Homo-oligomer: A and B are copies of this chain.
Amino acid sequence: MATTIKDVARKAQVGVGTVSRVINKSPAVSKATRKKVEQAIRDLNYAPNPNARRLSLGKTWHIAVVLPYLTLPSYVERLRGIQEALSNTDYKPILYSVGTPEQRDEYFHSLSHKNHVDGLLAISLSPTQEQAQRFLQNHIPVVLIDARHDQLSHVFVDDVHGGKLATEHLIDLGHERIAYISDYLDYPFQKSAAANRYQGYRQTLQDHSLPYREGYFVQGEQGRENAKTMAKQLLSLEDPPSAIFTSCDTQAIGVLDAAKEIGLKVPGDVSVIGYDGVSESEFVDLTTIAQPLYGSGHIAANMLLHLLASSSPTFKSHQLPVKVIQRGTTGPNHR
């Protein structure tokens, strides 16, 4: 059907080995022969079959990007960073979008076999200890983004610290009744970043001798709508919080929706602080804890490229900073 290396060899009157050498820029080809072969390639509009090459070479030039469905802007930002880091190379990213924990396990399992992809980047998703072992044993380079691991390289931020920063920011503004709206702490995909932020929140309350109230902590499914519902519930308490910290910006926006619907002023009646620093946060003038999202993807991809290039892969743990970005949704406590 398609033209093969044999056709080229015949047309150029050389052996297949020689054609292969030309294609792969081997120096062991005379100038004259090279010209002949190149001409034949052009005449036939030949391109090598990548699958044959992959089989023979045992190299795919594919990188699996394993990530949750693109429901959150933070995933997308990270993906952008990956994409741009890869764009200078011959590696192409294949998207493995996971919708359920079963799917995550299926992907991690099959990708841990040799000859599937050359390496993996996982966003906000950790392999189990067993899965990690298989990657290690099979020498498949992996870099985790927004996750920590003691054997797989990763880039991460200190979410406990982030939770602390958010809570302290609110306390500094005079708030004492501070609620936390969160993703499920035992998020089905990995030990959640939300859990660490929660820990920072609890810790900080305690450090400032503020009471922790059961009712001020609610967790639920990700997403703007769910956060809105949770916020309405919180804000209609008999003794509602004067400030709300959410585990991501998307949820914070949901809280803003709720406040608007109830008729509460932000930050007059209630302060809101998010987490992540996605670009949307700027549009709604949201105070937030920012982390380098694009940067995390970019750095992770480069780490993977290094692993791919090096003969002796080395473990690396790369920490990125978090910081408060103060904008218009947090203000002094009036009550």
> Contact check: which of B60, B94, B280 meets A280 at CB < 8 Å?
B280
23 contacts between A and B (CB under 8 A): A1-B114, A2-B114, A47-B116, A49-B55, A49-B114, A50-B116, A51-B54, A51-B55, A51-B60, A54-B55, A69-B84, A70-B76, A70-B80, A70-B83, A84-B97, A87-B97, A92-B95, A92-B96, A94-B95, A253-B283, A279-B280, A280-B280, A283-B284
Residues from 86 to 122 in A contacting B, C-beta threshold 8 Å: 87, 92-97, 99, 110, 113-116
What 0/1 readout, one digit per residue, does chain A (1-44) give for beta carbons within 8 Å of chain B? Answer: 11000000000000000000000000000000000000000000
Contact yes or no, A95 B114, CB < 8 A: no
* Docked complex Cα distance between A283 and B73 (Å): 14
Q: Among A51, A280, A283, which residue has the most Cβ atoms of chain B within 10 A?
A: A51
Does A79 make an interface contact (CB < 8 A)? Answer: yes
Set of chain B residues within 8 Å of A237, measured between Cβ atoms:
none
A residues 260-304 in Cβ contact with B at 8 Å: 279-280, 283-284
17 more contacts with CB within 8 A, not counting A69-B84, A92-B94, A283-B284, are A2-B113, A2-B138, A47-B116, A49-B114, A51-B55, A52-B55, A69-B87, A70-B79, A70-B80, A70-B83, A76-B76, A83-B95, A83-B97, A87-B99, A95-B95, A279-B280, A283-B283
* CB closest chain-B residue, reference A92: B94
Q: Which residues of B contact A80 (CB under 8 A)?
A: 69-70
6 closest A-B pairs by beta carbon, nearest first, are A283-B283, A51-B54, A2-B114, A51-B55, A47-B113, A49-B115
Q: Which residue of B lies closest to A111 (CB)?
A: B47
Q: How far is the CB of A251 from chain B (nearest CB, A)?
A: 14
A232 at the interface (CB under 8 A from B): no
Which residues of B have CB within 8 Å of A280?
279-280, 283
Query: Known contacts A49-B55, A51-B60; is A95 also within 8 Å of B93 by CB?
Result: yes
Q: Indicate if A149 sits at the interface (CB-CB under 8 A).
A: no
Of A50, A80, A96, A116, the most chain B CB neighbours within 10 A belong to A50
Residues of B within 8 A of A54 (CB): 51, 54-55
In contact, B97 and A94 (Cβ under 8 angstroms): no
Would you give the 0/1 interface string for A154-165, flagging 1 where the beta carbon is closer than 8 Å to chain B? 000000000000
